[in-house]
Structure 1
Amino acid sequence: MRTLFGLVLLGIALVLPRGALAETPALSLSFGGKTHAYTAAELLARADAATIKIPDDVTYKRAMTYQAVPLLALLGDVDRNVDTIEAAASDGFVSQIPMALVRKGAEGGSIAWVAIEDPKAPWPNFAGKDASAGPFYLVWQEPQLSGVGSEQWPYQLASLTGVESPAHRWPQIAVDVGLPEDAPARRGQAVFTVQCMPCHRMKGGGAADVGPDLGQPMGPTQYMTDEGLRRLIRNPASVRTWPEQRMPGFDETKLSDEDLDAVIAYLAHMAPGAR
């Protein structure tokens, strides 16, 4: 019986086209209680699909050309109460992207696109890895117009979900309400949300599973010097290395000295027992 079953499966495999047994990748969109999964073929067949050029791609670090659809058009008539898009990648990276940032694309700001990897023309693999940024990748035209951060370009994108802003979903990530508006730690919270939360949580708040929680059981400022933290953020390999190291370095083009100081002030403020 086992032999007969095996022959049947073999027959199916020979009849079906190559790759037909594999699951077709799809991008899931969940907004307003409705979920729809788009395959690459469906997205590429849309009337608003276009060829776009990104002169300085954040991930590939060079000029890239993509087939893509505009994110705003893909979202359609999204409820105005949705203020954040949670962009989750297949590797656990989760970027919290303000809906207001995406809407700026219709007002002369940076334009967000969902780039689609055509199976017939795959994108290049990352250096030393057997994987590309596909099958879906959120890219931005003229990111400098709206101040788009380097961590707001999620690749290997799996889903886009309409959610509340991070501070509303996870109140524990917020600084003390009594802090002055111009306090470095308050600015640091905003920078942390954009540049750090895609990989790290803060006191359990967040959706990413790539890096460690930076608020518990101890905060990094409790066991590292400020200089050590600066070096770790600028160039992780200059502080410690291991085979599966994934954290990228944040140079001045990704994180200004002022923003770096603000993040460290935020981490100190959020350390257990600090307030």
Structure 2
Amino acid sequence: MWRLFCVFLLCCSGPLLAAPALTLKSARQTVTYELATLQEQPGLSAITIPNDIAYNRSMQYQALPLAPLLRQAGFQPGDQLRLVALDGFAMTADASPFLNEQGAQAWLAVESPQAPWPPLKPGKPGAGPLYVVWTHPEQGKITAEMWPYQLAMIDRVAPLEERFPMLLPDAALPRQGAVWQGFAHFKQHCLACHSLNQGGDARLGPDLNVPYNPTEYLGERFLRQLIRDPKSVRWWEKGQMPALSAQSLSDAQLGELLQYLQHMAGRKVTP
């Protein structure tokens, strides 16, 4: 329902140019840009993204280097950034990669109403009006979650562990053990779309612990298959869950992720 509501806003809210397109909230200030203002920035350049994450093909964009925008707003290395999209996607990451201007570099792709980007899939909206894309991502640890499309806000937040203690495994378990390592994989690959114990910023996918944890109703075989190839287990027209390949998450790491989920099934927090 949330995604449908956001798609309704994109399609029916009238001219997006009249509304704020991007809000940046640092510890120092809040800066709001309209889409037309971003299109007039002197740094706007034509770039080519050979392996675009959202479109799975080469794409060309008019884009701004993201680092100068973040620095002007007051963001610094070491800040925790929360990037929030119109569809409920929300990911938290260290600011340093987004502030980098050598090697892997983040760009803010800006959609023109005169040349809209194609739909992500038939019958669905495109990645616009704003989309974080990367040049030379292979030169940094740039994961798929670091390419948020339909971007609406970037703000500075406290670390996830402080804001959402209901996500944490038992503190008595070894930090280098499978459960805590699985928690690290969960933060990287799952928390941008899902909550757990209703903790987390994202509202795109269902909660993964309340009322039931997927380890309670899916055997390990089908849960592994769901993560590797979601549509082979559950198919519906508006399904959004991406497949996690062994390149992104090894079989050993997937096992650690499942151990974290199994552990958290015994640590439910009643809403």
TM-score calculated relative to the size of structure 1: 0.84
CA offsets, 1:49-77, max 9 Å, x none? 22222111111101112111122110125
**Distance change >3 Å, CA 129–CA 253, structure 1 → 2:** farther
**Structure 2 unaligned blocks of 5 or more:** 1-11
Name 1:115's counterpart in structure 2: 109
* Contact kept? 1:215, 1:272, Cα under 8 Å: no
Query: Does residue 22 in structure 1 map to residue 19 in structure 2?
Result: no
* Contact kept? 1:85, 1:162, Cα under 8 Å: yes
**Distance change >3 Å, CA 156–CA 37, structure 1 → 2:** same
Name 1:89's counterpart in structure 2: 85
Query: Does residue 102 in structure 1 map to residue 98 in structure 2?
Result: yes
* Contact kept? 1:175, 1:186, Cα under 8 Å: yes
Offset at residue 258 of structure 1 (A): 2.7
Q: How many residues align?
A: 254
- State the AA in 1 paired with 2:15: A
1:49 to 27, 44, 53: 44
**Distance change >3 Å, CA 74–CA 80, structure 1 → 2:** closer
3-state secondary structure, aligned to 1:267: helix
Give the 4+ runs in structure 1 shifted more than 4 A: 79-82
Residues 213-222 or 189-198, more deviating: 213-222
TM-score calculated relative to the size of structure 2: 0.85
**Distance change >3 Å, CA 196–CA 54, structure 1 → 2:** same
Aligned-pair identity in percent equals 37
Distance of 1:208 and 1:261 partners within structure 2:
24
Offset at residue 97 of structure 1 (A): 2.2
Larger radius of gyration: 1
Distance of 1:270 and 1:33 partners within structure 2:
37
Distance of 1:23 and 1:79 partners within structure 2:
26
Distance of 2:238 and 2:119 partners within structure 1:
18
3-state secondary structure, aligned to 1:74: helix
**Distance change >3 Å, CA 263–CA 20, structure 1 → 2:** closer
Two-structure CA RMSD over aligned residues (Å):
2.3
Name 1:160's counterpart in structure 2: 154
**Structure 1 unaligned blocks of 5 or more:** 1-18
Distance of 1:61 and 1:181 partners within structure 2:
36
* Contact kept? 1:125, 1:131, Cα under 8 Å: yes
